[in-house]
Amino acid sequence: MPASTETMRAIEVAAPGGPEALKLGSRPRPLPSAGEILIRVAAAGVNHADLLQRQGHYPPPPGASDVIGMEVAGEVVTQGPGALRWPLGASLTALVPGGGYAEYCVAHEAVALPIPAGLGAIEAAAIPEAYFTVWTNVFERGALKAGETLLVHGGSSGIGVAAIQLAKAFGARVVATVGSDDKAHACARLGARAINYREEDFVAATLAETGGKGADVILDMVGGDYVARNYAAAAIDARIVQIAYLRGRTVEIDLQTVMNKRLRHTGSTLRPRSVAEKAAIAEALGEKVWPLIAAGRCKPVIDSTFPLADAAAAHRRMENSVHVGKIVLTV
């Protein structure tokens, strides 16, 4: 990635480790290449993938900045060659492959969207990773339709909150699993049937909520022993979409259940996808979801904000799993 002679503040990781590995440092300001824009960052979203990268388990894609951070909001200050979609001064939010925890960040113009009407930079920075992930997995791969039931694990996470709101906005019923009563209350306020998995069996609760039918779409970031339980909670012709595997990626499955219920178990990652693939998701969001946000039918839930220099504290809060919604860094 080309860089200018000017510098900027950015969060660096000297060596993989805990939150204390995040340090505020100085970097050359990046320069946008063809089709790219440079954004003066006002806010950057924090994601679980950021924690994995800090720990050394999730390196950035080839050619991407090694600075952590995959979603930003701010103002366009430089246009790369041929980047004419967004004028200088435009207020945008963007999905980026890296570089978000900094004062300036390069983004491809095709994966940037205008900050929705009525939102500020902090809320806008909380949109890209969660909304891109939910749209492509729940509505494209999972093909959720009005009248169907979505079971989402981690309902109080940034992705979980976005899934609840979008599913409800498009006419679906939502069952969400969480790990505390406070998180259950938060998801219930968003319209989900919330299940505290520490006190209630989510399989039995999902079947009861659907009159024995089961969930039509299941969004799972847990993996491990949840896979068999997801199959038990699934309806006939259900779609299970895997986006992470916090409890393990290698599991034994009962193929008879898959066959009897005609299940489709799929999954995807977002970060390594091509610009063209991400651009198609951005186009769909702009057409179908941005109007819902502008109308107030969906809105990012902000758990907390931290100054850029306190990125370590933001990571500690996420690791403690006490947050509801998104954690955002202000720059």
Question: Which CATH number is 290's domain given?
Answer: 3.90.180.10
Please tell me whether residues 57 and 121 are part of one structural domain.
yes
pLDDT at 80: 98
What would the mean pLDDT of 112-135 be, rounded to a whole number? 97
Residue matched to tokens 């306020």 = 189
Looking at the fold, whether 7 and 105 belong to one and the same domain comes out as yes
- In this structure, the answer to whether residues 171 and 239 fall within a common structural domain is yes
- Rounded to an integer, what distance in angstroms lies between the CA atom of residue 298 and that of residue 322? 22
Q: Of 267, 297, 313, which closes a domain?
A: 267
Domain shared by 299 and 191, yes or no = no
Q: Model confidence over 13-58: pLDDT tens digits?
A: 989 999 999 999 999 999 999 999 999 999 999 999 999 999 999 9
User: Which tokens go with 256?
Assistant: 């008879």
Domain C-terminal end among 230, 247, 267: 267
| pLDDT exceeds cutoff 90 at 284 | yes
Rounded mean pLDDT, 67-79: 98
User: Which stretches within the chain are classed as H helix?
Assistant: 48-54, 121-125, 128-134, 158-169, 181-189, 202-209, 226-233, 255-261, 275-288, 290-294, 311-319
pLDDT of residue 206: 98
* pLDDT score at 223: 96
According to the model, what pLDDT value does residue 1 have?
64
- Indicate the range of 2-16, 133-147, 284-298, 315-329 predicted with least confidence: 2-16
One domain, residues 215 and 239: yes
pLDDT, tens digit (0-9, with 9 covering 90-100), for 132-146: 999 999 999 999 999
pLDDT above 70 coverage of the chain, percent: 99
Same domain, 275 and 308: yes
**Does pLDDT of 278 surpass 80?**
yes
pLDDT of residue 170: 98
b/e code 165-178 from CB counts within 10 Å (16+ = b): bbbbbbebbbbbbb
Residues 210 and 146 in one domain: yes
pLDDT of 252 strictly over 80: yes
- pLDDT > 80? residue 3: no
Same domain, 117 and 135: no
User: Total structural domains in the chain?
Assistant: 2
By residue range, what is the domain housing residue 200?
A: 131-267
Are 29 and 55 in a shared domain? Answer: yes
What's the pTM?
A: 0.94
The reply to whether 11 and 110 lie within a common domain is yes
- pLDDT tens digits for range 219-242: 999 999 999 999 999 999 999 999
CATH of the domain at 249: 3.40.50.720
Quick one: pLDDT band at residue 5, thresholds 50, 70, 90?
Answer: confident
State the virtual CA torsion across 217, 213, 257, 134 in degrees, nearest 10.
Answer: 10
Domain-terminating residue out of 240, 267, 294: 267
Cβ contacts of 329 within 8 Å, gap of 6 or more:
43, 44, 45, 46, 69, 101, 125, 305, 306, 307, 308, 310, 311, 314
Q: Do 136 and 262 belong together in one domain?
A: yes
Phi, psi of 91 (to 5 degrees): -95, 115
Confidence grade of residue 147 (pLDDT, cut at 50, 70, 90): very high
Q: Give every CB contact of residue 291 below 8 A, 6+ residues apart in sequence.
A: none
Residues ≥6 apart with Cβ < 8 Å to 313:
19, 306
- ∠ CA 220-226-229, rounded to 5°: 110
In this structure, the answer to whether residues 255 and 325 fall within a common structural domain is no
